[in-house]
Structure 1
Amino acid sequence: MTKRLLDCTASELMRFGKAELFASIAGCEGRVLACETIGITQPLLGDVTNAEYAASLGADILLLNMLDVRNPVLQALPEVAPEQRIRELKRLTGRVIGINLEPVDPQAAQCNAGTLWEMSPGRLATPENALRARDLSVDLIVLTGNPGNGVTNEAIVDSLRRMRDVVGEDLLLAAGKMHGAGVLSQSGDRIMTRADAAAFMDAGADIILVPAPGTVPGITVESVHAIADDVHARGRLLLTAIGTSQEGADVSTIRRIALMCKMAGADIHHIGDTGVPGMALPQNILAYSIAIRGERHTYRRMASSVNR
């Protein structure tokens, strides 16, 4: 039986393949925290990566947003060759590492030129970029969209099918949207339907991503729970995501969202990267972790040495 992620040391996690990681997450029964961070912005602590900061606050999975697999930039990381940067981050944090790739539909994309969210070729959800991610030592690819980039559910399905064929045996594949991503026809309670979740699973998704209840208009505990039931019936995992800058809200709001996600059936709890530019407010990461698993598991994750 695979050891649950809550109890794993850094050295144990580094030996996991896809199947072991999936089983390890599932065994935690809704107590896994994924923190999204941005590596291209100035780190909050200056000379420490945002990913390291999030890990120190209890994150189990570090999800790197806006990482270009053709030129992976992580500000404040020690100087290593580009192809070694993810491995170096793993060495420093002892955590599972995921990245976002974006299945952009050119007909739906808005003009993000000159903004933080401006697309680059190495962030597109293509089989070639998925192979690069695997070679960089990424554990998880999340197919989702940043604001205004025009990611549609149809494009996610197409990208999933093509990625499944090249890395589906090696990496966990997650898919879904945290917000409309610039597509008004797929906003609010139309962001993710049960039919969308089924299509993603048919196309190869191991994990279905949905907005956390209370983060997007019309997304309720009941609507997410209905999708969770479908996902779990097919032996997959559910990830609830805060992608609406509420990672910068007050602690009481974060605790309420965390418990709603628990009630809805989340296996992985995601907290976004723009509480301040680059990551959630530190106090909110800690509060979320304690809300879903208590102080004992939170402080154990924080205290356990990466040398174990």
Structure 2
Amino acid sequence: MKRVLDCRASDFRQMGREDLKGAILAAEGRTVVAETVVVSQPLLPEISNAELAKAFGADLILLNVFDVFQPEVKGIVPFDMFSPSGGPGFDGNPIAEIKRLTGLPVGINLEPVDESADAVESLNALPEGRRATARSLAKAKELGCDFVCLTGNPKTGVTNAQISQAIGTAQQHFGGLIIAGKMHGAGTRGRVVDREAAVAFAEAGADIVLFPAPGTVPGLREQELAEIIAKVKERGALALTAIGTSQEGADEGTVRSIALSAKRAGADIQHIGDAGFAGMATPENIMALSMAIRGRRHTYIRMAASPLR
């Protein structure tokens, strides 16, 4: 089994669910997933945010606010600021195109919304293409997503109970790698990190259980997280820790500190969110996170590796 560190585009193209999970495990806590918002203007309008995230060290790309029934990723068609002709749009499969441009595995967020949740503040009803339903999960498979992340954006009313239910739905209708958990409250009251819920996600069939990284939500301590991660790993799941509370736009020292704390707690994969600038982390922070958990050599290799390899 190759480590994610050693995988190139040709390797990723051949990977299924178990292969990708095994490559992450083999990398021993040295895998970076970068999240980008697909509907925002890219940070550099000549390229997509996904391409920029890869260039600064991401191993996996997670697309946020992606509607599987109206698939779009801003930046696939470059925008020339000095000659904004409004040329032809992109009418192909954006998942396949992002995979071609980056050479990396690509996944999407789908949100298990609980309409009865005691939400702090709810958004307008999400379209089905952004929700974790049987139809949307089947469509994600059809589009070629390598993984789905069953989680909640702010104020969407996603609950742990609905996440557990969505894992079962994904097992039936998706078939790829399943990540499940909360980065923050997602608009519902109550504790973000719940030991029983995390174990339930693993037992329901999640390949990777998602947690907030230490220092990103109030009161979550490294030792507490380490104890919960150990319980999840006993059930055969991996652990992902997320910087999903806009600290992806903080200074590099803060990101490095969070990254090392998460690695000490047992994270197999580290996520950096999309709220740094325009729908992605500050690029230097992606690189800082990568260098903190795996050093310059592997960071530079990922940054430089061509999608043609």
TM-score, length-normalised on structure 1?
Answer: 0.94
Shift of 1:72: 1.2
Does 2:100 align with 1:100? no
| Structure 2 equivalent of residue 227 of structure 1 | 228
Match of 1:132 among 110, 128, 139: 139
For residues 114-193 of structure 1, the aligned pairs below 5 Å read 119-167=126-174, 170-185=175-190, 190-193=191-194
Which amino acid is the alignment partner of residue 111 of structure 1?
S
1:161-211 CA-partner distances (Å, limit 9, x unpaired): 2221222xx3011110000001112xxxx2122211111122221110000
| Structure 1 equivalent of residue 94 of structure 2 | 85
* SS of residue in 2 equivalent to 1:240: strand
State the distance in 2 between where 1:111 and 1:25 align. 35
State the distance in 2 between where 1:273 and 1:76 align. 15
State the distance in 2 between where 1:250 and 1:91 align. 31
Which amino acid is the alignment partner of residue 17 of structure 1?
G
| Structure 1 equivalent of residue 258 of structure 2 | 257
State the distance in 1 between where 2:278 and 2:192 align. 24
From the superposition, tell whether residues 80 and 277 of structure 1 become closer, same or farther in structure 2 (CA, over 3 Å). closer
State the distance in 2 between where 1:107 and 1:276 align. 33
Shift of 1:235: 1.8
Give yes or no for contact 1:164–1:203 (8 Å, CA) kept in 2: no
Give yes or no for contact 1:214–1:220 (8 Å, CA) kept in 2: yes
State the distance in 2 between where 1:265 and 1:306 align. 30
State the distance in 2 between where 1:249 and 1:31 align. 21
Unaligned runs of 5+ in 2: 78-88
Q: Which consecutive aligned stretches of 4+ in structure 1 deviate over 3 angstroms post-superposition?
A: none
Which amino acid is the alignment partner of residue 135 of structure 1?
E
| Structure 2 equivalent of residue 210 of structure 1 | 211
| Structure 2 equivalent of residue 37 of structure 1 | 36
Number of equivalent positions: 296
From the superposition, tell whether residues 39 and 137 of structure 1 become closer, same or farther in structure 2 (CA, over 3 Å). same
Unaligned runs of 5+ in 1: none
* SS of residue in 2 equivalent to 1:184: coil
Give yes or no for contact 1:4–1:28 (8 Å, CA) kept in 2: yes
| Structure 2 equivalent of residue 297 of structure 1 | 298
For residues 189-204 of structure 1, the aligned pairs below 5 Å read 190-204=191-205
Give yes or no for contact 1:36–1:62 (8 Å, CA) kept in 2: yes
Shift of 1:5: 0.8
Does 2:269 align with 1:268? yes
Give yes or no for contact 2:122–2:187 (8 Å, CA) kept in 1: no
Provide the aligned C-alpha RMSD in A: 1.2
State the distance in 2 between where 1:87 and 1:104 align. 27
Shift of 1:112: 2.1
Match of 1:111 among 112, 122, 130: 122
1:45-87 CA-partner distances (Å, limit 9, x unpaired): 01210011001101001000110000111012145434x2111
TM-score, length-normalised on structure 2?
Answer: 0.93
Shift of 1:215: 0.3
State the distance in 1 between where 2:91 and 2:29 align. 36
State the distance in 2 between where 1:288 and 1:201 align. 26
Does 2:62 align with 1:57? no
1:259-289 CA-partner distances (Å, limit 9, x unpaired): 0011000001000000113000111111111
Give yes or no for contact 2:67–2:130 (8 Å, CA) kept in 1: yes
